[in-house]
Chains A and B, each alone.
Chain A
Amino acid sequence: EAGVAQSPRYKIIEKRQSVAFWCNPISGHATLYWYQQILGQGPKLLIQFQNNGVVDDSQLPKDRFSAERLKGVDSTLKIQPAKLEDSAVYLCASSVARWDIQYFGAGTRLSVL
């Protein structure tokens, strides 16, 4: 069974530029999560989808971050414009249903210069 796929693996941009990350969850998983992991800390949730609807986006900086999950499968996370403090690893996770075990992708490491 294929795992959670994310791309790109690495991205370097300058502040005020925009960037987008892509996630393809495990087939059949209805719930999809985006987490942000800053160096030296544990991951923190940005947004959670159930199928193509948003369940929780309370920690998403909506003035610069946006996310969508069209058709309830793939998801994209966008940052526009990026700030230095957005440098982090962005992890996508999926689960069969909301309280089931979560499986994580390899992450996208973003450096904002």
Chain B
Amino acid sequence: GIQVEQSPPDLILQEGANSTLRCNFSDSVNNLQWFHQNPWGQLINLFYIPSGTKQNGRLSATTVATERYSLLYISSSQTTDSGVYFCAVNTGANSKLTFGKGITLSVRP
């Protein structure tokens, strides 16, 4: 099946800093979603982005499908951005989402 790798595994930032989170995938994808899992375990949809670039406030994402990677940018980070960020993909063969291992972000005041 498809493999999803996220990097870096852990990230510590000072409040106000910018960061880039990366997601590599091993095959063509039909759908790619970025999630933020908050400390209570809720998976919050950030972006549905199988290709192209999208922006939502301080967050933006870019997926280059031909090169099989996606990037999530966080600007002017806040302590509330802390948590685990997951990239998940599905393929034309199966609509289930395959998740990466996640990136743990800690933003310090």
User: Which residues from chain A sit less than 8 Å from chain B, CB to CB?
Assistant: 31, 33, 35, 37, 41-45, 48, 55-56, 89, 91, 93, 95, 98-104, 106-107, 109
Contact = CB atoms under 8 A, between A and B. Distances in A.
Contacts of B40: 106
Contact of A102 (B94, B97, B100): B97
A99 B31 contact: yes
A107 B48 contact: no
Contacts, number: 56
A106 B41 contact: yes
B78 interface: no
Contacts of A103: 45
Contact of A104 (B31, B42, B102): B42
Interface of B: 4, 30-31, 33, 35, 40-43, 45, 48, 86, 88, 90, 92, 94-97, 99-102
Contact of A42 (B31, B88, B95): B88
Given A99-B90, A101-B48, A102-B33, A48 B95 contact: yes
A37 B99 CA distance: 10
